[in-house]
């Protein structure tokens, strides 16, 4: 590979002029307070999360390295009736949500629609808007007359949040609108006239969308798989391509099943030269439709994100980052309202990094490592162009050609490597070394070629200055950079499974120990390498490195874990280059309890299907789940009734509904994964209704789930595990 510099000089888009906000924009990257900045945004829909859970969700996002939260404002969540003003009370209080974002230290992107999608009924239009005799999503004056009061209501609620120091850094209008640039410009003008303010105005650009020139920042996406393809369709090329390094950012697959008939098929394209390549919808997981139920491993999500970094991303935006629940029945995307997909009535877990019950998943752990990397060097990375190798894969089915790219300023840089994709596993690569021609020199490493193991997701640093020490290259991922007492610096690297962690400093090459923390010192500066398994427990919060298998938080009171495993917690000592264990405060450890599951009524024999729409299977109504599903009662012991607790249900079936003392909690389509729900304090009994799944049902299941279905005739609740999640303080430096 030969490093290639930027083709065009740095420029300022027209959008960047005339604003005194601390957030700025260039043709290559964003700035914050005048300095290059790498945003990491995660989607959380505040109306899908109980208000009492907002703070903890936001802190969990922040502690995972997210610095910006994005949220839709679903019109029908606020104003279901035309003769009633929009409600912003309780779980709908957007102003209170923004106050918590400020408190948590998060920037905000508002996605105001008025049409949003988000797997919501009518795309977020209230029924009275959907049924109005207007030309929707157009410049029809009658339609704009409906939108104007909605924008005015939003501006009234948000007026206190639009000063130059506002957390609102961006506003997206509309969503997935492909051929009406004038309408997008109209919506922007209307929002500004109503009083909405932000330094960035945005619109989704995938699907070949034509956007008003210089008016909105084009936002892209990338999903490893999706529910929106047919049950019989193979893994689509639009998903495959996100596991390859290339400089084309469009994804023609997102929302393709909602494209208006007659629109020409989109052509993949590179980003505008006016704006940097930014994303708002990298799949943080995937929703479950009735006809198609994708399940992605954490590595699949992390691989797509890492590839986007190698491709030149200047903004990592995830959809979703925190799952939730619809705030009422009938608010989901469904065949009944003309959509091609049936979604659960309530559940919107999305298999996100933070699940609907609030639990961080393994995806959170893997993305946390990438975000720590971006917090450490993102300001430099955005100034580094992406270069592809001389030999690239032939197409999206090439499983042999190495997949790699670099980002470099000509001296320092990072080699991004991917050997991971879902559905069709990649084998080990042939032995490789990376030969990179830089201005005035050629770097080749490692000294002996290495085979890249299946599953590798790599970010190898080279030419990295660490205080006064230079890291020539390494075959381990850079995790973070830490300050050391006395002015030194520490680079913390994470070893990768199956790859020897070689560290080259000053011409000397050393190998890290795969089973323990290894430090390499040069004066006041050091390189520390963590074993691969320990890296998954790493948390970098406010410039301090911790390890914990449990959810970790740090506030003015100290170190806190939300115990699920009760495992050890440690803090890295940059002076002595070691992890010091932290002592938990006295109290009961986390205990997971088996609860007794009693079958009260067996299920009726299920039909093969419950009907279809446009060739896709339709979901049974909840009434049928109650009528024909098996009923299981789970008694809650007295000690568990004192507080909310997590209930994890292992089950096999089709559709399930959970109730707490007869009150509906949530529902779920079975996809082979465990189901975790939050049970409110005071609940004496949880009832789960399970409708069986016919073996010939016309739905797509992950092969693991399909095998589980074939191997058992005992559909229903197999096990129920209760876990009270306790917050525990940990002593630091002898303090409690």
First to last CA, the chain: 54
Q: Do residues 90 and 51 touch, judged by C-beta distance below 8 A?
A: yes
Beta strand 30-32 with 23-25: parallel, antiparallel or unpaired? antiparallel
Do residues 174 and 187 touch, judged by C-beta distance below 8 A?
yes
Query: Is-contact 23 278, C-beta < 8 A?
Result: no
Q: What DSSP character marks residue 514? A: T
CATH class of 386-536: mainly beta
Domain ranges (residues) in the chain: 40-379, 386-536, 593-726
pLDDT at residue 263 in the model: 61
Per-state percent for the chain, helix, strand, coil, to nearest 5:
20, 35, 45
Cα–Cα distance for residue pair 345/666, rounded to 1 Å: 8
What distance in Å separates the CA atoms of residue 464 and residue 74, rounded to the nearest whole number?
Answer: 45
Q: Report how far residue 113's alpha carbon sits from residue 110's, in angstroms, rounded to the nearest whole number.
A: 9
**CATH class of the region 40-379:** alpha beta
C-alpha–C-alpha distance, residues 126 and 143, integer Å:
13
For the entire predicted model, the pTM comes to 0.97
Show Cβ contacts of residue 622 under 8 Å, excluding neighbours closer than 6 positions.
Answer: 329, 345, 657, 667
Please give the Cα distance from 294 to 287 (Å, whole number).
8
Quote the pLDDT of residue 256: 85
Rounded Cα distance between 374 and 191, Å, is 33
> Is-contact 158 109, C-beta < 8 A?
no
pLDDT reported for residue 19: 67
Are the CB atoms for 670 and 705 separated by under 8 Å? yes
For residue 268, what pLDDT is reported?
55
What residues have CB less than 8 Å from 445, skipping those under 6 apart?
Answer: 433, 434, 460, 462, 472, 473, 475, 502, 504
What pLDDT score was predicted for residue 734?
A: 44
Number of alpha helices (DSSP H) and beta strands (DSSP E) in the chain: 12, 46
Residue 19's nearest CA partner among 275, 159, 199 is: 199
Judge residue 321's burial from the number of C-beta atoms within 10 Å of its C-beta, 0-12 exposed, 13-18 middle, 19 or more buried: buried
Do domains 40-379 and 593-726 share one topology? The answer is no
Q: Cβ distance 544 to 730 under 8 Å?
A: no
Residues 6+ apart with CB under 8 A from 49: 57, 91, 322, 324, 325
Report CA torsion sign: 418, 424, 428, 429: negative
pLDDT of 736: 35
Distance CA 440, CA 427 (A): 36
162: its two tokens:
């639009």
Q: In 3-state terms, what secondary structure has residue 722? A: strand
In CATH, 593-726 is 3.30.1490 = no
Question: What is the C-alpha radius of gyration for the chain, rounded to an integer number of angstroms?
Answer: 26
DSSP H/E element including 593: strand 593-594
pLDDT, tens digit, for every residue of 556-598? 888 999 988 889 999 999 999 999 999 988 877 778 899 999 9
Distance CA(615)–CA(619), nearest Å, equals: 13
Closest among 242, 309, 315 to 278, alpha carbons compared: 315
Instruction: Specify the DSSP class assigned to residue 21.
Output: S
In three state form, how does the secondary structure of 574-590 look? CCCCEEEEEEECCCCCC
For 206-248, the pLDDT digits (tens) are 999 999 988 999 999 999 999 999 999 999 999 999 999 999 9
Predicted local distance difference test score (pLDDT) of residue 264? 58
CB atoms within 10 A of CB 679: 22
Place of tokens 């009938």: 330
Q: Cβ distance 643 to 681 under 8 Å? A: yes
pLDDT of residue 132: 98
The C-alpha atoms of residue 415 and residue 425 are separated, in whole angstroms, by: 22
Q: How many CA atoms lie within 13 A of 35 on its CB side?
A: 6
Give the separation between CA 102 and CA 160, rounded to whole angstroms: 12
Q: Which residues of the chain have pLDDT under 50?
A: 734-736
Does residue 416 come out as left (phi exceeding 0), alpha (psi in the -120 to 50 range) or beta?
A: beta
Q: What is the pLDDT of residue 564?
A: 86
């Amino acid at each position: 590979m030969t490093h290639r510099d930027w083709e065009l000089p740095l420029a300022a888009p027209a959008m960047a002029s005339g604003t005194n906000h601390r957030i700025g924009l260039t043709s290559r990257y964003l700035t914050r307070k005048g300095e290059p900045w790498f945003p990491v945004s995660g989607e959380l829909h505040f109306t899908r999360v109980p208000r009492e859970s907002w703070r903890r969700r936001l802190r969990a996002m922040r502690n995972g390295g997210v610095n910006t939260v994005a949220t839709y404002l679903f019109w029908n969540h606020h104003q279901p009736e035309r003769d009633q003003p929009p409600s912003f009370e309780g779980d709908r209080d957007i102003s209170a949500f923004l106050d918590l974002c400020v408190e948590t230290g998060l920037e905000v992107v508002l996605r105001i629609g008025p049409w949003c999608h988000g797997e919501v009924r009518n795309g977020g239009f209230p029924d009275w808007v959907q049924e109005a005799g207007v030309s929707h999503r157009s410049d029809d004056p009658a339609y704009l007359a409906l939108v104007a009061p909605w924008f005015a209501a939003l501006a009234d609620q948000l007026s206190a949040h639009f000063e130059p120091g506002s957390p609102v850094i961006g506003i997206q209008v509309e969503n997935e609108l492909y051929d009406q640039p004038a309408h997008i410009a109209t919506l922007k003008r209307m929002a500004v006239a109503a009083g909405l303010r932000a330094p960035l105005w945005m619109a989704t650009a995938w699907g070949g969308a034509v956007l008003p020139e210089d008016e909105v920042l084009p936002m892209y996406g990338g999903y490893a798989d999706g529910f929106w393809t047919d049950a019989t369709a193979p893994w689509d090329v639009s998903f495959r391509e996100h596991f390859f390094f290339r400089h084309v950012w469009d994804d023609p697959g997102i929302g393709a099943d909602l494209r208006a008939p007659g629109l020409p098929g989109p052509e993949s394209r590179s980003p505008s030269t006016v704006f940097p390549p930014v994303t708002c919808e990298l799949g943080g997981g995937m929703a479950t439709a009735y006809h198609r139920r994708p399940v992605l491993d954490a590595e699949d999500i992390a691989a797509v994100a890492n590839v986007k970094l190698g491709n030149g991303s200047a903004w990592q935006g995830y959809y979703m980052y925190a799952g939730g629940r619809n705030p009422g029945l009938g608010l989901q995307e469904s065949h009944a309202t003309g959509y091609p997909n049936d979604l659960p009535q309530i559940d919107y877990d999305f298999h996100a990094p933070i699940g609907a019950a609030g639990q961080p998943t393994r995806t959170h752990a893997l993305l946390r490592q990438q975000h720590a990397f971006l917090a450490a060097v993102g300001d430099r990375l955005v100034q580094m162009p992406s270069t592809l190798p001389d030999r690239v894969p032939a197409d999206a089915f090439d499983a042999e050609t190495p997949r790699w790219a670099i980002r470099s300023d000509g001296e320092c840089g990072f080699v991004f490597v991917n050997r991971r994709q879902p559905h069709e596993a990649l084998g080990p690569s042939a032995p490789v070394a990376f030969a990179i021609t830089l201005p005035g020199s050629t770097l080749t490493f490692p000294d002996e070629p290495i085979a890249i193991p299946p599953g590798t997701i790599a970010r190898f640093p080279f030419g990295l200055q660490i205080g006064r020490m230079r890291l020539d290259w390494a075959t381990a991922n850079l995790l973070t950079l830490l300050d050391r007492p006395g002015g030194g610096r520490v680079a913390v690297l994470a070893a990768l499974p199956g790859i020897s962690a070689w560290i080259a400093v000053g011409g000397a090459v050393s190998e890290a120990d795969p089973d323990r923390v290894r430090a390499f010192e040069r004066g006041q500066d050091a390189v520390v390498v963590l074993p691969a398994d320990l890296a998954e427990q790493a948390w970098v919060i406010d410039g301090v490195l911790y390890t914990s298998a449990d959810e970790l938080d740090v506030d003015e009171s100290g170190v806190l874990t939300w115990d699920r495993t009760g495992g050890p917690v440690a803090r890295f000592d940059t002076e002595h280059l070691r992890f010091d264990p932290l002592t938990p405060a006295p109290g009961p450890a986390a205990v997971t309890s088996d609860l007794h599951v009693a079958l009260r009524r067996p299920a009726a024999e299920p039909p093969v299907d419950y009907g279809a729409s446009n060739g896709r299977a339709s979901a049974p109504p909840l009434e049928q789940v109650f009528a024909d599903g098996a009923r299981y009662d789970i008694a809650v012991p007295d000690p568990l009734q004192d507080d909310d607790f997590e209930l994890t249900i292992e089950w096999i079936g089709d559709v399930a509904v959970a109730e707490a003392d007869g009150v509906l909690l949530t529902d779920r389509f079975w996809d082979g994964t465990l189901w975790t729900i939050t049970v409110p304090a005071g609940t004496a009994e949880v009832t789960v209704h399970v409708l069986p799944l016919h073996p010939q049902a016309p739905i797509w299941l992950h092969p693991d789930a399909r095998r589980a279905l074939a191997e058992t005739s005992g559909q229903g609740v197999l096990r129920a595990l209760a876990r009270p999640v306790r917050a525990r303080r940990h002593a630091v430096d002898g303090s409690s």
